[in-house]
Amino acid sequence: MAKKLFVGGISWDTTESSLKDFFAKAGTVISATIIIDRYTGKSKGFGFVEMSTDEEAEKAKNELNGQSLDGRSIVINEARPQQPRENNYSGGNGGGKNYGGGNDKRRDYRDDRRGRDRRGGGGY
């Protein structure tokens, strides 16, 4: 069964093919992916390599961890499953859910009914 490895400390000069060639020393590489920042188009400095067997993945971890690849010492760990993300698009600091800030008429009306005066923004 294939096993995925996390590779950290990757140089910006490293390509997916050079990463694949580097890990081929330890066995058959199914895939090699470098994570790219969607806004800058540059490497984020880490990636994933999928080895064909658990034994080859263990061999790659033991032999290649701490080795130099394109002038940088890489770190290899077993990859963890990706965690599900929350897509609430709140935008931080109260954006998206009408918390704080602004002069929302509906909220002002609600606050006035409760006997509070909250016109002028601010949060709860």
Tell me how many domains the chain contains: 1
d(Cα 17, Cα 15) in Å, to the nearest integer? Answer: 5
In a domain? residue 101: no
Asked if residue 48 is part of any domain, the answer here is yes
Which of 2-6, 17-21, 26-30, 85-89 has the lowest average pLDDT?
85-89
104 assigned to some structural domain: no
Confidence class for position 102, pLDDT limits 50, 70, 90: low
The whole-number pLDDT of residue 123 equals: 56
Task: Say which residue, 16 or 101, is predicted with more confidence.
Answer: 16
Residues 6+ apart with CB under 8 A from 23: 5, 29, 32, 49, 51, 60, 64
Task: Identify the pLDDT of residue 87.
Answer: 72
- Residue 89 inside a domain? The answer is no
Domain with 10 in it: 3-78
CATH number for 73: 3.30.70.330
Residue 111 falls inside a structural domain? no
Residue 89: its pLDDT value, please?
A: 61
In a domain, 27, yes or no: yes
Q: DSSP letter for 100, please.
A: S
Q: What tokens were used for 17?
A: 């093919």
For the cut 70, the answer to whether the pLDDT of residue 42 exceeds it is: yes
Residues 6+ apart with CB under 8 A from 86: none
Mean pLDDT of the chain: 81
Could you tell me if residue 87 is inside a domain?
Answer: no
